[in-house]
């Protein structure tokens, strides 16, 4: 009887401290893909629960974002490239890592974050968190090869880092204050 308390009491203390269990062990669950919003965000369903998933470690151009010196929409190219990757998958297993500040689930589907970098469908998120230096090197190497091979987005030239583009477009869209 004492052994069960050795397990339950530490588990119970996690809930008292409001520790997210995904901090201890990532949660994996099968999901159904419902919709692709852009090159790094999708809508998935697990049982009766639908939620937005933001793929971790990557950042793809936004709709309306242009390539340098071009009128081509980098966001649409990223979305189409990502949709091609999704078509190669038969089943989807979601690895939940955490929730972002917008309430979206942050995680990965079948290692699509890495595949997206490798195929040139996206770039690395500047503040991406990696489990190890080895994993970070793997992503950086794949990005370098995709750029050098001009795969996916990189065949059309460069584009502004999506995080910076979002910040600039918010600033330009802000209404002017009258004095």
Please state the rounded mean pLDDT for residues 117-138.
94
pLDDT above 90 coverage of the chain, percent: 56
Rounded Cα distance, 54 and 30, in Å? 16
In this prediction, residue 1 has a pLDDT band, given cuts at 50, 70 and 90, of: low
Please state the rounded mean pLDDT for residues 120-145.
95
Rounded Cα distance, 114 and 120, in Å? 10
- With a cut of 50, say whether residue 179 has pLDDT above it: no
What is 87-124 written as a DSSP string?
HT-SSEEEEEEEE-TTS-EEEEETTHHHHHHHTTS-EE
- With a cut of 50, say whether residue 67 has pLDDT above it: yes
Structural domains of the chain, ranges and CATH numbers in brackets: 22-164 (2.40.50.90)
Q: By mean pLDDT, which of 58-67, 77-86, 96-105, 150-159 is the weakest?
A: 96-105
pLDDT tens, position by position, 135-153: 999 999 999 999 999 999 9
Query: What pLDDT shows up at residue 100?
Result: 83
Phi-psi region of 51 (alpha: psi -120 to 50; beta: other; left: phi over 0): beta
In this prediction, residue 158 has a pLDDT band, given cuts at 50, 70 and 90, of: confident
pLDDT, mean over the chain: 85
Query: What pLDDT shows up at residue 15?
Result: 57
Question: What predicted TM-score, i.e. pTM, was given to this entire model?
Answer: 0.79
Query: What pLDDT shows up at residue 56?
Result: 94
- With a cut of 60, say whether residue 128 has pLDDT above it: yes
The SS3 of residue 59 is strand
Q: Taking the CA atoms of the chain, what radius of gyration do you get in angstroms?
A: 19
């Amino acid at each position: 009887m004492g052994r069960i308390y050795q397990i339950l009491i530490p588990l119970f203390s996690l809930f008292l401290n409001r520790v997210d269990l995904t901090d201890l062990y990532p949660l994996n669950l099968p999901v159904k893909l419902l919709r692709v919003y852009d090159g790094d965000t999708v809508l998935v369903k697990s049982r009766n629960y639908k939620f937005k998933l933001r793929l971790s470690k990557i950042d793809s151009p936004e709709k309306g974002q242009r390539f340098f010196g071009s009128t081509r929409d980098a966001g649409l190219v990223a979305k189409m490239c990502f949709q091609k990757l999704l078509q190669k998958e038969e089943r989807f297993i979601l690895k939940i890592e955490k929730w972002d500040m917008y309430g979206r689930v942050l995680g990965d589907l079948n290692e699509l974050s890495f595949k997206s970098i490798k195929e040139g469908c996206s770039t690395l998120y500047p503040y991406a968190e990696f489990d190890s230096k080895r994993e970070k090197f793997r992503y950086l190497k794949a990005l370098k090869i995709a750029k050098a091979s001009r795969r996916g987005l990189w065949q059309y030239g460069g584009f502004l880092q999506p995080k910076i583009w979002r910040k600039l477009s918010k600033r330009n869209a802000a209404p002017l204050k009258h004095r």
